Chain A
Amino acid sequence: MQEASAQPAHVHAPPEGFLRKNVFSLDHKVIGKQYYALGLLAVCMGMGLSWLMRFHLVWPTTRIPGLELLSKVGAPGGIITPEYYLSLLTMHGTLMVFFVLTNAPFAAFGNYFLPIQIGAEDMAFPRFNMMSFWTTFVAFLVLVLAFVIPDGPPISGWTSYAPLSAVGQDAGPGMGWGMNLWGISIAIFCIGSLLGALNFIATTLDLRAKGMTLMRMPICTWAWFITSCIALLAFAVLLPACILLILDRTAGTSFFIPSGLVVSDRLQPHSGGSPLLWQHLFWFFGHPEVYIAILPSMGIVSHILINSMRKPLLSARVIIYSMMSIGFLSWMVWGHHMFVSGMNPFSSLLFSFPTLTITIPATIMTMIWLGSLYGANIRITSASLFALGFISMFVSGGVSGFFLAQPSIDIVLHATYFVVGHFHMVMGVASIFGVFAGTYFWYGKMTGRMMNEKLGQLHFWLTFIGTYCIFMPFHYLGLVGNIRRYSAFVNDFTGPLMPLHKFITIAALCTGAAQFIFIFNLIYSHFKGKPASENPWEGTTLEWSIPSPPPWNNFGDKHPIVYHDPYQYGVKGSKGDYIMQDSPEPSAG
């Protein structure tokens, strides 16, 4: 009876009715899928925007048919105006960072699999869970609303540097209501994420099945747990920042706006504010946010790699500790975004050291992954391919961090395409690879049908090669000094770079198109995919001990008891070369 008491007294009864089942569901699995769907929607929009931007950059005078319908002012005659380019840029960044990179690997997969992997029936607070999704959804709607209002979306980038973002209408088109919507949306998003993170932490701490000690949790559970700890503090800082920004814009306060600014020939009625204050608050959130995006993917990738290698990592603990130390260090490095922004030059050095230090845990993780591959018997699947691709991407994006972590080199590379290449690879593509891997790996469990392997692998090859074709050249452009966030390249020295830009754009269009294979696969397999068995990948963790898809209360009425560390591979088990976590048979080790 003890293990029973270790379980929540039934958190919720079996859901009745369509709404309760699919829309306002308390079931963490449904909520996880909802987050995934939201992320998918957001990523499609974000990708579309990047298409428009890339197209405009290399064919600025070519009409884009139908674009006028999206915005008559922004794209008169289908030609994108400079401010509308910046609108697209801002929305691309905001959608991708908040609604894709924060939602998909963390909220979506975390919601679905964290409770299952620790043997819980649901999250600790199912109602909070539902609230956090719908809050996030509202945030999404508010943000997208900016596309349809006459003012148009804001033009100050996803970092919304004050005072550009704070002085309002005078700063340019989209900086009136468009910018207000941005601030409100992000504030709401913070609340949603805080609720989510709180839920994750409480669940991990208290709802673990009998025998599921912390060190017996799968690596991805650990990743989600650490991530939620970071998110809990990061979004708690962004929220106040947004509130202050909104007050500056609407209530006439002067938190971020100094005296004597003349914008559009108008003297601004503010005084004494500090633009750097915004940058500090924003990046204090902003840098941990990078790890909120990447850590879950690290976890997912490790989880999948181990499964397809059929042997445990050299050391799971080291990975976990590395993730912790990255999470810890991420609080001391925000200033490396501000090397040339007028901070005290000494503090630049102060921020530079911990930044460089982060390379140590990162390198350790990479070496653990690589070393574990040695002597393995890797099963090549779409999932494992994307996992391996993740390592490659992580390395490529990581080494460029070497440059940007040094203030002196940052003088040359700051705000160039080098930076864009760096964070797109390490934060964007890498964590998206984690999401792809997770999708191919868990789709069967989530829907009861397997995804199509052939399409999956085709999707991988196109995406893998494509992303390198897009983002590697960014670094070259940066080295020459090509500035980011330009809607047209009017500088004398950018002329010779246009062929490279054309190449990037074409690669982007192709790679983007390749993603439709994935979306098609998602939909097609949902109906036509071959039925998924309980444990198609011969996995060891708890999610493989229950039917696919799992029943509403995950484990039915039985409460799993955990006997082993998560990854008992390469051993003689009753089922094969592995032993399930909840199987009482003795482990080899």
Chain B
Amino acid sequence: MGKMFAIVLVIIALASAYPIARHMYVPPEDISTHGHAIDDQLSDTMAEAGFSFLGAQLVLAFFVWRFSERKDGAKLKHFPGGAKLMVTVAFIIVGAEVFALGVLGQKAWANVYFTPPRPDALQIQSQAGQFAFYFRYPGLDGKFGAIHPDKIDEGNQNFFGLDPANDIESRDDIVSGELVIPVNREVHLLMHAKDVGHSFYVRELRIQQDYVPGLDLSVHFTATKIGRYEIVCTQLCGLGHYNMKAYLNVMAQDDFEKWLKQKASEQ
């Protein structure tokens, strides 16, 4: 039985590692300027984790194979070096890993969060509500009209609760159901939650950030590849959570301006 355990465990360990080793399941291609740091971090960690995983499982398998159900009178031995060795090794190796990962992680994290958005970044406001994202462009005046929660009227597409009757700034605001941005230009996304907690996640952008009601959060990123990508909600927000998504549409600059004009005419 001990031998069988060893065999099964080896098979499991190798089978588990195979899809990883063959890169069968990997994140989609990165289209952001900061993402590569995260990806490197991920693959480094994967290497270290894979090493520890295989190492531990195989050692476990070998020891069980070798030292289980031996005939009586088999001499009991102790691991050379004993506990001290174990502790020291663990401290040195894992400690080193922890430190390395910690520091590297800090760099990758800093790229995303510790650098302020460029002043000329394109400001877009996004609102998450049960169960859709909506995006708002400031329009010609470059100003966002104020949000009046009591004015929200989804039936009339007034998702942000704008008050065009009294608030001039809000009249030229452009509201869209998909996030359209120009390629290679930094976007500063202001995040506003209408009802409960949501989250903004674009796999290709390597960006995930919660919307927290009552908190004005923001993220900034630069998309480097034209295309259409999915924005999904990753924070459980109610019955429609699974269906809360929108599209990120990265366009060439002039296409973007065309789109903006056309959108403005619809408002």
> Within B196-217, which residues are at the interface with A (CB < 8 Å)?
196-197, 199, 201, 203, 206-210, 212-215, 217
Instruction: Number of A interface residues at 8 Å Cβ cutoff, please give it.
Output: 106
Is A171 interfacial (CB 8 A cutoff)? Answer: yes
**Docked-complex contact A314 and B112, CB < 8 angstroms:** no
**Across-interface contacts of B91 in A (CB, < 8 A):** 360, 364
| Nearest Cβ on chain A to B177's Cβ, whole angstroms | 16
**Docked-complex contact B241 and A86, CB < 8 angstroms:** yes
**Across-interface contacts of A357 in B (CB, < 8 A):** 98
**Docked-complex contact B199 and A409, CB < 8 angstroms:** no
Is A415 interfacial (CB 8 A cutoff)? Answer: yes
> Within A461-483, which residues are at the interface with B (CB < 8 Å)?
461, 464-465, 468, 472, 476-477, 479-481, 483
Is B106 interfacial (CB 8 A cutoff)? Answer: yes
| Residue with the greatest number of chain B CB neighbours at <10 A, chosen from A273, A315, A356, A396 | A356
**Docked-complex contact A380 and B5, CB < 8 angstroms:** yes
Is A374 interfacial (CB 8 A cutoff)? Answer: yes
**Docked-complex contact A275 and B108, CB < 8 angstroms:** no
**Across-interface contacts of A208 in B (CB, < 8 A):** none
> Within A484-505, which residues are at the interface with B (CB < 8 Å)?
485-493
With A167-B196, A310-B76, A491-B230 known as contacts, the answer to whether A411 contacts B206 (CB < 8 A) is yes
CB-based nearest A residue for B212:
A342
> Within B45-62, which residues are at the interface with A (CB < 8 Å)?
45-46, 48-50, 52-53, 56-57, 59-60
**Across-interface contacts of A259 in B (CB, < 8 A):** 214
**Docked-complex contact B149 and A407, CB < 8 angstroms:** no
Instruction: Number of B interface residues at 8 Å Cβ cutoff, please give it.
Output: 103
**Docked-complex contact A380 and B86, CB < 8 angstroms:** no
**Docked-complex contact B28 and A164, CB < 8 angstroms:** no
A468 to B90, CA, bound (A): 26
**Across-interface contacts of B12 in A (CB, < 8 A):** 392, 465, 468
> Within B86-137, which residues are at the interface with A (CB < 8 Å)?
86-87, 89-91, 93-95, 97-98, 101-102, 105-109, 112-114, 129-130
Is B255 interfacial (CB 8 A cutoff)? Answer: no
A409 to B49, CA, bound (A): 13
**Docked-complex contact A318 and B86, CB < 8 angstroms:** yes
Against B, the Cβ 8 Å flags (1 = close, 0 = not) of A145-167 are 00000000001110101111001
Interface pick from B64-72, B162-170, B179-187, B259-267: B64-72
With A415-B201, A480-B27, A481-B28 known as contacts, the answer to whether A155 contacts B64 (CB < 8 A) is no
Is A236 interfacial (CB 8 A cutoff)? Answer: no
A349 to B104, CA, bound (A): 11
A489 to B91, CA, bound (A): 43
CB-based nearest B residue for A577:
B76
**Docked-complex contact B150 and A311, CB < 8 angstroms:** no
**Across-interface contacts of B199 in A (CB, < 8 A):** 340, 415
**Docked-complex contact B53 and A157, CB < 8 angstroms:** no
**Docked-complex contact A373 and B63, CB < 8 angstroms:** yes
**Docked-complex contact A406 and B105, CB < 8 angstroms:** yes
A498 to B54, CA, bound (A): 27
Contact of B57 among A267, A310, A392, A465 (CB under 8 A): A392
Is A423 interfacial (CB 8 A cutoff)? Answer: no
Against A, the Cβ 8 Å flags (1 = close, 0 = not) of B15-38 are 010011000111110000000011
CB-based nearest B residue for A173:
B239
With A274-B214, A408-B105, A493-B203 known as contacts, the answer to whether A488 contacts B242 (CB < 8 A) is yes
**Docked-complex contact B149 and A260, CB < 8 angstroms:** yes
A380 to B21, CA, bound (A): 33
**Docked-complex contact B63 and A374, CB < 8 angstroms:** yes
| Nearest Cβ on chain B to A179's Cβ, whole angstroms | 12
With A276-B212, A491-B230 known as contacts, the answer to whether A267 contacts B150 (CB < 8 A) is yes
Is B9 interfacial (CB 8 A cutoff)? Answer: yes
| Nearest Cβ on chain A to B78's Cβ, whole angstroms | 6
**Across-interface contacts of A391 in B (CB, < 8 A):** 60
**Docked-complex contact A468 and B197, CB < 8 angstroms:** no
With A380-B68, A411-B206, A457-B1 known as contacts, the answer to whether A356 contacts B101 (CB < 8 A) is yes
| Nearest Cβ on chain B to A278's Cβ, whole angstroms | 10
A375 to B77, CA, bound (A): 4
Is A510 interfacial (CB 8 A cutoff)? Answer: no
Interface pick from A210-218, A241-249, A397-405: A397-405
CB-based nearest B residue for A485:
B236
Is A16 interfacial (CB 8 A cutoff)? Answer: no
**Docked-complex contact A263 and B196, CB < 8 angstroms:** yes
Is A169 interfacial (CB 8 A cutoff)? Answer: no
**Docked-complex contact A261 and B194, CB < 8 angstroms:** yes
| Nearest Cβ on chain A to B13's Cβ, whole angstroms | 8
| Nearest Cβ on chain A to B203's Cβ, whole angstroms | 4
With A267-B150, A493-B230 known as contacts, the answer to whether A488 contacts B243 (CB < 8 A) is yes
Is A345 interfacial (CB 8 A cutoff)? Answer: yes
Is B245 interfacial (CB 8 A cutoff)? Answer: yes
Is B142 interfacial (CB 8 A cutoff)? Answer: no
Contact of A360 among B19, B63, B98 (CB under 8 A): B98
**Across-interface contacts of A311 in B (CB, < 8 A):** 76, 78
**Across-interface contacts of B232 in A (CB, < 8 A):** 483, 491
**Across-interface contacts of B233 in A (CB, < 8 A):** 483
Is A414 interfacial (CB 8 A cutoff)? Answer: yes
Contact of B112 among A385, A408, A416 (CB under 8 A): A408
Against B, the Cβ 8 Å flags (1 = close, 0 = not) of A230-269 are 0000000000000000000000000001111111110100
A157 to B232, CA, bound (A): 18
**Docked-complex contact A172 and B201, CB < 8 angstroms:** no
**Docked-complex contact B213 and A377, CB < 8 angstroms:** no
A261 to B161, CA, bound (A): 11
**Docked-complex contact B67 and A378, CB < 8 angstroms:** yes
**Docked-complex contact B63 and A412, CB < 8 angstroms:** no
Is A420 interfacial (CB 8 A cutoff)? Answer: no
Q: Can you list 16 A-B contacts (CB < 8 A)?
A: A164-B196, A261-B149, A267-B149, A275-B197, A311-B78, A340-B199, A370-B63, A378-B2, A378-B68, A385-B1, A402-B52, A411-B38, A411-B207, A412-B42, A457-B1, A570-B76
Q: Which residues of A contact B (CB under 8 A)?
A: 81-83, 86, 155-157, 159, 161-164, 167, 171-173, 257-265, 267, 272-276, 310-311, 314-315, 318, 340-342, 345, 348-349, 352-353, 356-357, 359-360, 363-364, 366-368, 370-380, 385, 388, 391-392, 395-396, 399-400, 402-403, 405-409, 411-412, 414-416, 457, 461, 464-465, 468, 472, 476-477, 479-481, 483, 485-493, 570
**Closest 6 pairs (CB-CB, A-B):** A258-B214, A375-B77, A408-B108, A315-B83, A345-B113, A83-B239
Given contact pairs A156-B238, A340-B209, A364-B86, enumerate 8 new A-B contacts (beta carbons under 8 Å): A342-B210, A342-B212, A374-B79, A412-B42, A415-B234, A487-B241, A491-B230, A491-B245
